[in-house]
Amino acid sequence: MRFTEWEPVYVQILDSFGFGRAGDETARDTLASLVTPFDRSRLAWENKTVAICGAAPTLGDELARVDDADVIVAASTAADVVLDAGYDLDLMVTDLDKNPETAVSLTESGTPVAAAAHGDNVPAIREWVPQFADEHVLGTTQAAPVGPVVNWGGFTDGDRAAFIADELGAERLVFAGWDFDDPTVDEMKAQKLAWAERLLAWLERRRNEEFSILDGRRDDIEPLP
């Protein structure tokens, strides 16, 4: 996805949360100073089914959904669930807010990690990214891309994982561990889940694909352009 396509949606997200660009850009620049360009040819996902594992409490009960996938991507703490269940992980997507030690371990073993920069995670970037094995780090931002830091779309770890898979040519996306109505989350997280839902609805229209996790929900989702 080009930033010119993403930017109008990004502006809506900023307005919705009352966020400013400056924080995102500072975080992006911090990340850019700590990573090098990632060789995206390592993630050749054309014509493949990619499983996007979210971090909802239901993930452990839904892992059978990934059995037929060619590629497994996990958002945040979903990585631990996937690994503990004995599955191989192809990419972790994280903004470093919950289990950065897992991200460090994965890069040390050669598994790529997509690390996201945003307005309130500069301290985490400075602490954890230098501990990663650099060649296995894909730097991402929700602001304009700079240097080695890319923007392929996405806002939360989960929906960003789906946008990354789309960018890398995935033929089909399947989902496990998603709960847009999770009653245990706080108000901010609930708002983020609502945006994740909107973004996935936008992505499925762009892909001319229907994601099963949106079945029965589409009519109530405010569309994005």
Name the token pair of 92: 């972790």
pLDDT higher than 90, residue 225: no
Mean of pLDDT over the chain: 97
In eight-state DSSP terms, residue 96 is S
Evaluate whether 218 touches 201 at the Cβ level (below 8 Å). yes
Encode pLDDT of 63-101 as tens digits.
999 999 999 999 999 999 999 999 999 999 999 999 999
Encode pLDDT of 46-58 as tens digits.
999 999 999 999 9
Between CA 41 and CA 32 the distance in angstroms is 20
Evaluate whether 167 touches 44 at the Cβ level (below 8 Å). no
Encode pLDDT of 172-194 as tens digits.
999 999 999 999 899 999 999 99
| Residue 180 confidence (pLDDT) | 96
